A and B are shown apart, each in its own frame.
Chain A
Amino acid sequence: MADVAHAKASEAVDLHPSERPLRRFIVANRAALGSLSIFWLMLLAFFTANPVVFSNWGLYTAVMTTLPVTLFLVAPLVFVVTSGEIDLSFPAVMGLASLAFAVVVQAGYDPLLAMLAAIVFGTLLGFGVGALVVYGGLSSLVATLGMNFMLRGVILIVTNSKSIAMPDLVDSVAFKLFSGKVFGFPVQMFWAVLFVVFCAMLYNRHRFGAHVHVVGDNPDSANEMGINVNWTRVKVFGLMGLGAALAGVFSTMINFTWWPTSGDGYLLPVIASVFVGGTPPWGGIGTVIGGAIGAMTVSFIQTGVVGVGLSGFYVQFFYGLIIILSLLGHRWNQVRYR
């Protein structure tokens, strides 16, 4: 009798505070929301400093032309970091995959086919790097650093460090589809957002994402529950390879030229974006959307600093400042459970 009465009483109680929809949304997305507030604060600061320059739409389209390249790299890197690993080899994978694109285009094939070739090649390279790290039992930090040097070396050896120009790309269907402008809006931004949304779904609502989380959180437990921990890790690197290939193709199409240094400048900004976005470095948790916002923040720093009227020498200082401020912000709102 008492039990029944008790059960009824507890059913009658309102939703637990943590179950109210708005509160749950905020708690579940606090890292991403934190990154978003940092982004808005930064924009506000820039805008206040120089309202004229920052009212100019051209400034935003300029950022949105290059931002997609970063987004294709940031979203998969969130998976890598969540799984408890790191990948420093994606710049070289990006360079090699886009080299495949350039070579196929130069050979006279359709750029769409070249894109496909680059994507397949990049993904395979990613799986290769992953297999080396996981089955070789190597530290991903050191092994991918080595792979980055080695693959970049391969690029330089194979091409004699010569760039490949593809002026005919302008007239191709691929360019119109993936690199043109719609109503003055860079269309590659649309594809990048689509990719980020897909990755966010994969991360939060797919079996693969669930496995990535638990593998990064407690690999022993994941193994005991029958998850193939090693294969999950390899797949994460495969996804990173796919993202690097997309980034490489898009950056090559923006410039109509493949450079032997393609991908080189992206290493640190992309890694910074992941952490600025609110993914902690210890694995197990993270946010793809937050990472995308982090990429926006990092991309706007350079434009913003110059737009405000400061000399380019200030850019690095502000990079550092924003990274440190973001980390302090996330430190305050994220607890590490053990």
Chain B
Amino acid sequence: MTTPIIELRGITKSYGTIYALGGVNLHVNPGEVVGLLGDNGAGKSTLIKILAGVIKPTSGEILVNGSAASNWSPARSRAAGIETVYQDRALAVQQSIVRNIFMGRELAGPFGWLNMRKQIAEAERLMREIGFTSKVFSPHSIVGQLSGGERQGVAIARAILKQANLIVLDEPTTALSLTETAKVFHFVRQVRESGRSIVFIGHNIHHVFDIAERFVVIDRGRVAMEKTKAEVGSAHALIEFMEDVAKPHHAREIA
């Protein structure tokens, strides 16, 4: 039995009297691609923000490589090798590409002085890796001048900067053109082949079915389904299940 690289146990999150998450379990094994599905407001984003340490859970446990983590924070999460590409891309748009890529983990000497040369070289390498041609952009380009897909590229470059164990992609293809979407999927496959784990969140069930090996469906703050690709069978079956979840009788059950 493999130890999951990250495991969330009984995670709840409440805002006053409103429960965003009501006891969710989620684990990710090494090298595994998990597809996280659910309607808008189901709690997907809250869950991954808890995973990233941005939101503190009301209760529940977080285990890294089988041992319980304390004082979970964004810095701890990144140190554990978890990188998140957020839906809103979380970029500082008035800053250069290189400053965004190294945000929070600048390459610096002993007194905090930046190693600018090394940062730029590294940024150039990453930009090539994800398919930015140096003809149009340089690491000095301001992120605000880039298109949506290019900004997503910067966010992804930031996520793969360090050899992350787990990359969380929160709807990475929303608002992207077809070619840009294809680029993102090309990258996701590369990450998968390099043996890193991925949590992939998406609205397009075909995309998610295509890329993931195990599916977790969240509905109104709870895990409504958890099945492997073989158990689900086809994208069609997954869509049917999602439609079923969306039906109003579920709402009555909870009420």
Which A residues fall within an 8 A CB radius of B?
10, 13, 16, 18-19, 24, 28, 201, 205-208, 210, 213-214, 217-218, 220-228, 284-285, 335-338
Contacts and interface: CB of A to CB of B under 8 A. Distances in A.
Contact of B93 (A10, A205, A217): A217
Interface stretch (B30-38, B99-107, B185-193, B232-240): B99-107
A223 B74 contact: yes
Given A205-B116, A224-B74, A338 B144 contact: yes
B134 A16 contact: yes
19 contacts: A19-B138, A24-B140, A207-B106, A207-B112, A207-B113, A208-B112, A210-B103, A210-B114, A214-B92, A217-B95, A218-B90, A222-B92, A224-B74, A225-B104, A225-B158, A226-B73, A284-B92, A337-B93, A337-B143
A314 to B, nearest CB: 38
B135 A16 contact: yes
A210 B53 CA distance: 22
Contact of B104 (A13, A28, A226): A226
Contacts of B133: 10
Q: Which of A10, A24, A337 has the most CB of B within 10 A?
A: A337
Contact of A284 (B53, B95, B104): B95
Contact of A221 (B103, B144, B145): B103
A218 B93 contact: yes
A10 B135 contact: yes
Given A218-B90, A223-B74, 8 more contacts: A206-B114, A210-B114, A213-B99, A214-B95, A222-B104, A225-B105, A226-B77, A285-B94
Interface of B: 52-54, 73-75, 77-78, 84, 86, 90-95, 99-100, 102-106, 108, 112-114, 116, 133-138, 140-145, 158
Nearest to A213: B95
Nearest to B100: A214
Nearest to A18: B138
Contacts of B143: 337
A214 B141 contact: no
A43 B7 CA distance: 67
Nearest to A207: B112
A153 to B, nearest CB: 37
B64 to A, nearest CB: 15
Nearest to B119: A210
Contact of A207 (B53, B94, B114, B135): B114
Contacts of B86: 224
Q: Which of A213, A222, A225, A337 has the most CB of B within 10 A?
A: A225
A221 B90 contact: yes
Contacts of A222: 92, 103-104
A301 B136 CA distance: 43
Nearest to B111: A206
A224 B54 contact: yes
Given A19-B138, A205-B114, A217-B94, A226 B106 contact: no
Nearest to B139: A19
Q: Which of B99, B103, B113, B133 has the most CB of A within 10 A?
A: B103
Nearest 4 pairs between A and B by C-beta?
A: A337-B144, A225-B104, A226-B75, A217-B92
B116 A226 contact: no
A31 to B, nearest CB: 12
Contacts of B145: 337
Contacts of A28: 140
Q: Which of A221, A223, A336 has the most CB of B within 10 A?
A: A221
Contacts of A217: 92-95
A213 B74 contact: no
A294 to B, nearest CB: 20
Contacts of A224: 52, 54, 74, 84, 86, 90
Contact of B113 (A205, A285, A336): A205
Nearest to A214: B92
A86 B108 CA distance: 28
Given A24-B140, A207-B106, A337 B94 contact: yes
A7 to B, nearest CB: 9
Contacts of B95: 213-214, 217, 284-285
Nearest to B90: A221
Nearest to B128: A7
B104 A227 contact: yes
A220 B45 CA distance: 15
A28 B141 CA distance: 10
Q: Which of A208, A210, A222, A284 has the most CB of B within 10 A?
A: A210
Contact of A214 (B99, B108, B138, B140): B99
Given A16-B134, A210-B102, A224-B86, A218 B91 contact: yes
